[in-house]
Structure 1
Amino acid sequence: MKLNPHFPLSYHIFCGRALFNLERYAEAMPHLERVRTAQPGHPNALALAAACYAANGRLEDARATAGEVEKANAKFTIGFAGTVLPYEVDEERERFLAMLKLAGLTP
């Protein structure tokens, strides 16, 4: 990202997920908010934001954002996320899914 100032917006999602996996939730939020602003209906970015809010104890924001995920894509559920999102480390996937559950995303 430092070498190419014209990188794709999806890089922010990658950064957000990496920072979430490192448990650096507050640092992930600016990346996810940038995607949320540019593409308000992006379910993957919204789900990551909801998980970060939940992990930070911001449950009201987490629940509101989980509602946005469901509006953006009704098929984006915890079950869907668990089978589709690429996680090689089981603990990372389980923490993400647990935070989505805490946020109130549909099982």
Structure 2
Amino acid sequence: MNQEKIIALLILDNRDEFSNSYQLCKILAWKFKIISCDNLIKNLCDEKLIDAQYTNGLGKFTLTTKGKNAITQHWKETTDYYTAVFPDEAIFINKLKLNYTN
């Protein structure tokens, strides 16, 4: 599973304020230099990892069971990777993985 997809799913799962398309794209670009957000969101929807509802052009996303299962399977390798590549974001990444470390 693509690590960009898993980090996006982790953000959506943990942070309700990032569950709309603008906020999600902003945090992915700002913290993790992921600028192809539209393609990422399209792929997440196409693979049925998230459900999207659009109002006035702004998407609101919720995880599907398939998306939650993808996180459960891949959270460790993804958070380890992003912590190594973006050490300044380690605190943020650690908060994202709290639900999965027990």
Judge same fold: TM > 0.5, yes or no.
Answer: no
Task: State the TM-score, normalized to the length of structure 1.
Answer: 0.36
Between structures 1 and 2, the one with greater strand share: 2
Task: State the TM-score, normalized to the length of structure 2.
Answer: 0.37
